[in-house]
Amino acid sequence: MQRAAEVLMTSKRVVFFTGAGISADSGIPTFRDKLTGLWEKHDPQRLETAEAFRENPALVWGWYLWRRRQVSQAKPNSAHLSITQLAKAGWDVSVVTQNIDDLHERADSKGVVHLHGSLMSAKCFACHRPVELTSEQLQIAEEGRLVEPPRCARCKGRLRPGVVWFKENLPEEAWRSAVRLVRNCELLISVGTSGVVTPAADIPDMALAVGATVIHVNLEDVGLDRANEMMLLGNAGEVLQALLRSVGVE
């Protein structure tokens, strides 16, 4: 912690790279958590594909409505709030996230780069046009009843969540923004990321390649003991709050 605090004190441009672990304390399940209710018999990785949507659009749309409801009921936790505290204390802070929730925004982080899209958005499965959903379209799938996706006003194709599914490319603009921020940072703090989903998993290596320091915050040791890389084991909120206290930010 002391070494991490020393690096943070001497770094002006800081990028937080976040994954599912940062939202766990807000009640947002990770892929490792067992699903409940209507979804307990389903594998999330099989629901989050274009193939699954083609085969059963109501099932997939209902799954995402359920996830959206979870997010709407959740609140940012101390890890999200630590990032905005650091920004308000004078550091040049950017956030690049793999998460599709809006907890960073609700914690008052600005200009968050979403590499995997957002649960809060939708687009047409056929013509890919972004669509703003109405309150009626955001009705929640009841237990045992799934909801057929709304239709696109332009082409009548089914609407799908505005997220990146397995086997899909990252949004080009988001990826370019992330690369630009990482290549210009002095410190990358990776919080709650598994380091297995590419190309996002390449971001710490990208930071190290330009001479930045990388601090991993995770419940498990995900570091590779390379130069300019360190590991802080523990709960994201507790570790980040301790790091902020170490540099005089309360």
116 included as an active-site residue: yes
Distance of CA 45 to the CA centre of its chain: 16
Cis before 161 (ω within 30): no
Catalytic entry in 80, 104, 114, 116? 116
User: Cα-flanking dihedrals φ and ψ of residue 31, to 5°?
Assistant: -60, -20
User: Cα-flanking dihedrals φ and ψ of residue 229, to 5°?
Assistant: -130, 135
Interatomic CA distance for residues 128 and 130, integer angstroms: 6
Q: Are 230 and 213 contacting, i.e. CB atoms less than 8 angstroms apart?
A: yes
Q: Are 203 and 230 contacting, i.e. CB atoms less than 8 angstroms apart?
A: no
Q: Would you give the end-to-end CA distance of the chain in angstroms?
A: 16
Strands 229-233 and 113-114: unpaired
- Torsion, Cα 158 106 246 240, to 10 degrees, reads -30
User: Cα-flanking dihedrals φ and ψ of residue 5, to 5°?
Assistant: -65, -40
Find the helix packing angle between 236-246 and 2-9, rounded to 10°: 60
Token pair belonging to 129: 């046009």
Please identify every residue annotated as catalytic.
116
